Amino acid sequence: MTMHRATNIAVSAVSAAPLRGTIAIDCAGTVATFEIDEELAHRLCTDLERFLTQVPRRTGAAR
């Protein structure tokens, strides 16, 4: 699997009731657009919060 660096992310609301939106991720000159609902948005927030607050773990080589 090839990994590309995301260069821009945009989040837009599509509707308020029920809450739905889109996430557009610009990566390597191509924009991928995804539709999300409120449940998925909350799961994404939880995962991003965990990512942002994780404590870096030392590898065997760093000791």
Tens digit of pLDDT for each residue in 4-18? 899 999 999 999 999
pTM over 0.75: no
Number of structural domains, the chain?
1
Q: Is the pLDDT of residue 63 over 60?
A: no
Domain boundaries, position 42: 6-54
Does residue 42 lie within any of the structural domains?
A: yes
Does residue 23 lie within any of the structural domains?
A: yes
- Residue 28 is predicted with a pLDDT of 85
Q: Which residues of 16-37 are buried (b: 16+ CB within 10 A; e: fewer)?
A: eeeeebebebeeeeeeeeeebe
Does residue 24 lie within any of the structural domains?
A: yes
Nearest to 24 by CA among 36, 38, 37, 16: 36
- Residue 60 is predicted with a pLDDT of 61
Tens digit of pLDDT for each residue in 20-54? 999 999 998 899 999 999 999 999 999 999 988 98
Beta strands, E only, the chain: 6-16, 19-27, 30-37
Does residue 27 lie within any of the structural domains?
A: yes
Does residue 18 lie within any of the structural domains?
A: yes
Does residue 39 lie within any of the structural domains?
A: yes
Distance CA 33, CA 30 (A): 10
